[in-house]
A and B are shown apart, each in its own frame.
Chain A
Amino acid sequence: MKRVLVANRGEIAVRVIRACHEEGLEAVAVYSEPDRLALHVRHADAAVLLGPAPSTESYLDIRKLIAAAKDTGCQAVHPGYGFLSERAAFAEACKDAGLIFVGPPATAIRAMGDKTEARRRMQAAGVPVVPGTTTLLRDPVEARKEAKRLGYPVLLKAAAGGGGKGMRQVANDADVEGAFQAARREAQKAFGDGSIYVEKYLERPRHIEIQILADHRGRVVALGERECSIQRRHQKLIEESPSVAVSPALRRRLSEAATAAAGAVGYVSAGTIEFLLTPTGEFYFLEMNTRIQVEHPVTELVYGVDLVREQLRIAGGQPMRVHGASGPGGQLHPRGHAIECRITAEDPFNDFLPATGVLQYLRVPSGPGIRWDAGIEAGNDVTLFYDPLLAKLIAWGETRENAIQRMRRALSELVIVGLPTSQPFHLRVMDDVEFLKGEIDIKYLERAGRRVLAAPPRPGLERALAVAAAMVADEQRGRTVGPSDGRTAPGLSPWIVESRRLGLRDDLE
């Protein structure tokens, strides 16, 4: 293995390219027309244009991706997350073309990708699953019958699903029909498969997931849990490791279930087993993500493992380099605490609606314990074609409290000019009383979202911004900024000139 095609875009493509370079491998990027100047293209050793913006004509086109890999002399393909990462057909197409797929075998993807099949397999392997059907629902009539048997509320879920797409919560008989059709339509669009099944809806569980790593030598290790309960519409916003709700004894039981789950499908590479953990300590298998995950860095920071480099090594047939645990179910121990905030192009003060625009300026936080994994830089245009994730800000500390303090500090340093982002939301969560106590579950945001967003910013901030606005407006009226700033000519300060320059550049692109 010398050259790897990175079949993705955004921050994960950059992440994979970095891992390739550290492993001494060359990385080939692929891109769509609007991504010509994207960060991943600039990081790569070579880049191949796939086609126009729509994913179906670019990042989801298996034929084009395989051709790009062959044309550029790649031996392997890393799929990242999203897009084709959990399509068994893509893993097979790579294999058929003589390319190494950096991920699990197609059979494992298929078994876990079909959520009803996965539930059957997990039951057989002795892993507890959420009560529900292990077969697909034919129509709303059957959905209603099964929902009644389980008792409302229930969740209708896409069998091919993930990320909350094609999922609907249903409270009563009357809503089944509409929810079923909506879930089916969304699933069809997102995954090309409208199959739906039903699960009992659990009250206020935590979302706890276990990272596993498995190599071709038959070794499977669990790298502890991630707490991902802070979600909005089933999209994770903040993740941490370890979880305040997981004791060493519970971690051992979760890890055993996770390694059993991976073993049941012959898993190889990095994967994640998601569980729901109830307030009384029972846990249920939710699904397995057969790929690297967005939130993998929090695990990397507390376990001292580079998961993407391990994926590459394992794909090349080498043993994993994870030390300190032996044999299936072997346990490693977390060191310190890590938190990740997803910085997305969404406006928290406008119901998290997607925002677009040119990123005019970016100042990235740094200093002790801070990691920034981004897919964007100043000058990039944020469009509606792809996922709104711009970057991930990750903080490590000796304790959870230290990690939160660092995250708060880093969020205050981060400057993004050009479009609203989730940044102020994260800052407020870091000050929220329930979050600070670790009292979170998947309903946290429904409960606390309004309170968090209504929290006042730091004293004096609004007044300072009001003054700044008045001074900027005053300057535009043809005066100088400041009393004795020799460099600032009346009328046009460097600031105005620069902002116009930035504005003009957008028009030229």
Chain B
Amino acid sequence: MRYHVTLRSRTYIIDVAGGSVTVDGETLEAHAAAIPGTPLLHLLLGKDSWTVACQQLDARRWALGAVGERVEIEVQDDRSKQIEALTGQGRKVAAGGVVKAPMPGLVVRVEVTQGEVVEVGKGLVVVEAMKMENELRATHQGVVEQIHVKAGDRVEKGAALVTLSAQPSQPSG
């Protein structure tokens, strides 16, 4: 089976077959064995030895680690990729303009009001986590369309905080 493996914005095309893999056209001997009682996998790739720590994040995403590094990896098999291409389905890109909480925390204050025009870098919401205040700033120019939280709210990671209009403000005529 062929897999499309994406990590740190690079995609590898990997064919897995029996005791070998073909990575971007190069075929290598590959043997993976689980280490019992651990989430570790030992990989012999050619003669290179790697101990890989595995954590599954969702149906097609893993966090894999080795020699002190940790990388989040998305894997898609060729068949489902083709089906998605045919049906036009895929992972939906997050709606532009929604500023989300990057971590769980407590909303300390909201620094904008609805309808306010914000420039890049303008502080929007201050979220406290682990006793530090983190200010979330606008990454693009826009108008504050909606404010989803208020001071004192507890938010989960990924919670919508503020929606900015995708369109930059129009100069008044």
Contact = CB atoms under 8 A, between A and B. Distances in A.
A461 B69 contact: yes
Q: Of residues A182, A190, A384, A484, which shows the largest number of chain B Cβ atoms within 10 Å of its Cβ? A: A384
A472 B102 contact: no
Q: Of residues B14, B34, B38, which shows the largest number of chain A Cβ atoms within 10 Å of its Cβ? A: B34
Nearest to B60: A473
A467 B103 CA distance: 30
Nearest to A502: B39
A468 B43 contact: yes
Interface string A453-484: 00001101111111111111111010001111
A354 B16 CA distance: 36
A278 interface: no
A402 interface: no
A415 B65 contact: yes
Interface of B: 1, 3, 5, 7-8, 10, 12, 14, 16, 18-19, 21, 23, 28, 30-41, 43, 45, 48, 50-56, 60, 62-71, 73, 75, 77, 102-105, 108, 129-134
B48 to A, nearest CB: 6
Contacts of B19: 482-484
A499 B65 CA distance: 15
Given A416-B53, A498-B37, 13 more contacts: A415-B53, A417-B55, A420-B63, A423-B70, A464-B48, A465-B66, A466-B12, A467-B23, A470-B12, A470-B21, A473-B62, A482-B19, A485-B31
Nearest to B30: A467
Given A471-B21, A474-B16, A384 B55 contact: no
28 contacts: A190-B131, A354-B103, A356-B104, A361-B40, A384-B129, A415-B65, A416-B65, A417-B55, A420-B70, A423-B68, A424-B68, A427-B68, A458-B67, A461-B50, A464-B52, A466-B73, A467-B14, A467-B28, A467-B43, A467-B45, A469-B3, A469-B62, A473-B3, A473-B62, A474-B3, A484-B19, A495-B34, A499-B55
A482 B50 contact: no
A493 B5 contact: no
A503 to B, nearest CB: 8
Contact of B54 (A354, A414, A427, A495): A495
A388 B14 contact: no
Contacts of A354: 103, 105, 129-130
Given A465-B73, A499-B54, A384 B133 contact: no
B66 A499 contact: no
Contacts of B33: 481-482, 485, 488
Contacts of B3: 469-470, 473-474
Contact of A468 (B10, B41, B132): B41
**Interface size class, chain A:** 35 or more
Contact of A466 (B14, B41, B102): B14
A355 B75 CA distance: 23
B1 A477 contact: yes
Contacts of A470: 3, 5, 12, 14, 16, 21, 75
Contacts of B8: 462
A417 B66 contact: no
B62 A233 contact: no
B31 A474 contact: no
Nearest to A360: B39
Contacts of B31: 482-483, 485
Q: Of residues B10, B14, B30, B70, which shows the largest number of chain A Cβ atoms within 10 Å of its Cβ? A: B70
A136 to B, nearest CB: 22
Contacts of B18: 483
Contacts of A462: 7-8, 10, 71
Contacts of B60: 473
B70 A468 contact: no
Interface in A179-224: 182, 185-186, 189-190
